[in-house]
Amino acid sequence: MSLKLIRNILLVAGFTTVVFGTGYKLGLSQSPVPYLKPTFSNTDVPATKNVDFALFWDVWSRLEDSFIDKKALDPEKMFYGAISGMVSSLEDPYTAFLPPKENKDAKDSLAGHFDGIGAQLGIKDKKIIVVAPLSGTPAEAAGLKSGDWIVKVNGKETVNWNLPQAVSNIRGERGTKVTLNILSEGETEPRDVEIIRDNINVPSVVWEVKTASGSAKKSIHLKLSQFGGQTNDEWLKGVSEINSYLATDSAKTVKGIVLDMRNNPGGYLSGAVFIASEFLPDGAVVLQEDKTGRRQTFSVNREGKLTNIPLVVLINRGSASASEIVAGAIQDRKRGRVVGEVSFGKGSIQDVQELQGGAGLHVTVAKWLTPSGKWINRDGVTPDVKVEPDEENPENDVQFNKAIEIL
């Protein structure tokens, strides 16, 4: 598979939900809105398909004739809804049809700039859950955590929702409010959480020299928040800065690098291979298995600048997909140790296809496996050293402290 093609392959956990983008501006009017019957084109069934659409048109016609709210009979919305229903019938939470607005929002999200609450969502056990709140966003400030179940959105039950439905109900313009009914793990009663949407700007790569609590040990704390469209450029800039720092006298006491992918929901497959190649000298990064069972190996594809420095990888329940690929490769190849919690567990690959009119289609086309052939779907990557966060004192980053201790 060419690099050009794999740039269009997504691994993100519930990617269509990462964007709570600009919402619709609602206007109220007292004047009646006439219902205009639509005209249709390209209605012929392909010769290779034996499908009778009589029932479809019968239902469409009955809705036109009988439904009480004529203003709700939006032909385009009904058309997109029919396509969404067809895709949803596959019962794969990561295969999704995105109408033009949702598709644009999804692409804006991977670019790292959008309006919303700043949370990544996914589907687990048919529930809409928080994969990870983004750092410094309204979602984090409101106390959303990885694993939270969104029971309701503005009073609407989320049972049987797909990811695009979650997006369309939660997204909105900066300054507007959304109320989420949340059930956190370990709790028995859900609670309402009001969140004011804001503009979200998320840098993918941030690094600093950091000392563990109660220790003189120093490390490079390299935070990777997603594998988006700008991540590779940001990564190269960060690595260049790190190498310049490591050449100074101040760096003599640095023990190594802590690659922090906690709450990283994933992104592009090409990005995962690119990042892993920074630390691995050669060999396999990830295996892809298609619907026929044929496997393809994606190997280190460039000369990394950090192949010899001691390395520890941090993950948690919000680490998904592309971040799991990197963690799994580092672990399988024994390049470094993995510390933290068992990760999210998303082992499938989506092909991103652009459709006419600006719509998009995300199709699950394969599953991915670690270099040793392990499929982590639902099970996640198990860290070499399990460390639960200090919930009572979040400022005490026990997972990071353990990482530095291991270096």
- Give the integer Cα–Cα distance in Å for 185 and 387: 17
Query: What is the number of H-type helices and E-type strands within the chain?
Result: 10, 20
Domain end, chosen from 201, 222, 254, is at 201
Report pLDDT for 249: 93
DSSP label at 204? Answer: S
CA-to-CA dists, residue 98 to 88, 104, 207, 269, 358, angstroms:
12, 9, 35, 20, 9
Q: What is the pLDDT of residue 42?
A: 60
Asked whether 21 and 98 are in contact (CB, 8 A), the reply is no
Residue identified by tokens 């997909």 is 321
Instruction: Give residue 27's pLDDT.
Output: 25
CATH code, domain carrying 157:
2.30.42.10
Q: Of 168, 204, 219, 321, which one is the catalytic site residue?
A: 321
Structural domain harbouring 188? 115-201
Query: Is 210 in the active site?
Result: no
Long-range CB contacts for residues 139-146, cutoff 8 Å, separation at least 24: 139/195, 142/117, 142/193, 142/194, 142/195, 143/193, 144/119, 144/180, 144/182, 144/193, 145/184, 146/263, 146/316, 146/317, 146/318, 146/344
Distances 383 to 12, 295, 310, 373, 396 between C-alpha atoms, Å: 20, 25, 17, 17, 20
Q: How far apart are CA 120 and CA 15, in angstroms?
A: 8
Does residue 193 form part of some domain? yes
Give 208's strand partners. 221
- Residue at which a domain ends, from 146, 170, 201: 201
239/280 same-domain check: yes
> Do 191 and 219 lie in a common domain?
no
Does residue 288 sit in helix, strand or coil?
strand
List the CATH number of the domain containing 393.
3.90.226.10
Q: Both 193 and 135 in a single domain?
A: yes
Q: If you search the block for the tokens 């990197």, which residue do you land on?
A: 326
Catalytic residue among 104, 346, 348, 397: 346
Exposed/middle/buried for residue 43 (C-beta within 10 Å: 0-12, 13-18, 19+): exposed
pLDDT of residue 36: 39
pLDDT at 46: 65
- Give the residue from 103, 68, 122, 96 showing the smallest Cα distance to 318: 122
* Residues comprising the chain, all counted: 407
The active-site residue, picked from 148, 260, 332, 397, is 332
Between CA 368 and CA 353 the distance in angstroms is 19
| Count of structural domains within the chain | 2
The residue with tokens 């992104």 is: 267
Token pair 């982590």 is at which residue?
A: 376
Q: Is 321 a catalytic residue?
A: yes
106 belongs to a structural domain: no
Phi/psi-derived region of residue 172, left when phi > 0, alpha when psi is between -120 and 50, beta in every other case: left
**Residue ending a domain, choose from 201, 218, 243:** 201
Per-residue pLDDT of the chain (407 residues; tens, 9 = 90+): 333 333 345 554 443 333 333 221 122 222 233 333 445 556 565 666 778 889 999 999 999 999 999 999 999 999 999 999 999 999 998 999 999 988 887 887 777 777 889 888 888 888 999 977 887 899 999 999 988 999 999 999 999 887 768 877 888 899 999 999 999 989 999 999 999 999 888 789 999 999 877 777 899 999 999 998 899 999 999 999 999 999 999 999 999 999 999 989 899 999 999 999 999 999 999 999 999 999 999 999 999 999 999 999 999 998 999 999 999 999 999 999 999 999 999 999 999 999 999 999 999 999 999 999 999 999 999 999 999 998 777 678 999 999 999 99
Angstrom distance (rounded) from CA 299 to CA 406: 27
Position 2 scores a pLDDT of 35
Q: What is the pLDDT of residue 190?
A: 97
Asked, for residue 317, whether it belongs to a domain, the answer is: yes
Q: Which two tokens stand for residue 362?
A: 């995300």
> Does residue 178 sit in the same domain as residue 263?
no
Q: What is the pLDDT of residue 169?
A: 87
What is the distance between the alpha carbons of residues 374 and 345, in angstroms, rounded to a whole number?
12
Please report the pLDDT score of residue 54 as a whole number.
92
Same domain assignment for residues 177 and 264: no
- What is the pTM (predicted TM-score) of this model? 0.74
Distance CA 266, CA 325 (A): 9
Measured between alpha carbons, how far is 119 from 138 in angstroms, rounded to an integer? Answer: 8
Say how far apart CA 76 and CA 82 lie, in whole Å.
10
Q: List, in order, residues 6 or more apart from 252 with CB less than 8 Å away.
A: none
Q: Decide if 224 contacts 323 (C-beta within 8 A).
A: yes
Same domain? For 181 and 256 the reply is: no
CA angle (196 as vertex; 193, 198 as ends), nearest 5: 140
Tell me what pLDDT residue 251 has. Answer: 93
CA angle 149/151/154 to nearest 5° reads: 125
Q: Of 212, 197, 211, 204, which Cα lies nearest the Cα of 233?
A: 204
